[in-house]
Amino acid sequence: MAKRASIYSVIVLIVVAGLFAGEYLLMSRRAQTECGFCRRHINPKAHVVAEVGGRRRNVCCAHCAVTEARQEKKPLRLIAVTDYSTGKMVSPDGAWFVEDSRVIACEHDMSKMDESKHAEQLEFDRCSPGTFAFSDRKAAEEFVAGNGGVLRSLPEVLAEAQQ
């Protein structure tokens, strides 16, 4: 009897450990796909890794990190950015950024409904206009030619966080 009981407790232990492991995996995956500042789903083409006040997070786009740093009045560091053309993570040093283009970085509904069901444009959106990064200046210029927007260097983007 004692032996059977111990087998049961081992099985229970394994199941519980499995549940914990599963939850941990789910949590870490969520940290990769959910913005650490605004909780929105991260667009893989605009994904950046940023530090605001020394805390490192996965962020939906560079603009969201800039907004966070400005609101919190804390220093911003970009650790890695996604090259829009290739979808690969690159160093932000020497990268080019496009702001104010017609392409929306965050996948979410920009409008909200009021009581009379008229769609209203949100006056302020922390992620809008989205910022896209390019490791190649020419690719960034082509993007601007096709989608509008302004080309900015890394120091220019970081300066916006200090305003």
Three-state SS letters, 110-155: CEEECCCCCEEECCCCCCCCCCEEECCHHHHHHHHHHHCCEEEEHH
Nearest CB to Zn ion, comparing residues 64 and 95: 64
Distance CA 88, CA 85 (A): 8
Nearest distance from C-beta of residue 85 to Zn ion, angstroms: 22
Sole binder of Zn ion in the list 35, 52, 62, 76 (CB under 5 A): 35
| C-alpha 21, offset from chain centre | 25
Asked if 62 interacts with Zn ion (CB under 5 A), we say: no
From 3-11, 21-29, 33-41, 95-103, span contacting Zn ion (CB under 5 A): 33-41
Q: Which residue has the tokens 């965050």?
A: 106
Residue whose C-alpha is closest to residue 37's, from 54, 52, 22: 52
Nearest distance from C-beta of residue 136 to Zn ion, angstroms: 25
Sole binder of Zn ion in the list 46, 50, 52, 64 (CB under 5 A): 64
Nearest CB to Zn ion, comparing residues 36 and 149: 36
Footprint of Zn ion on this chain (CB under 5 A)? Answer: 35, 37-38, 60, 64
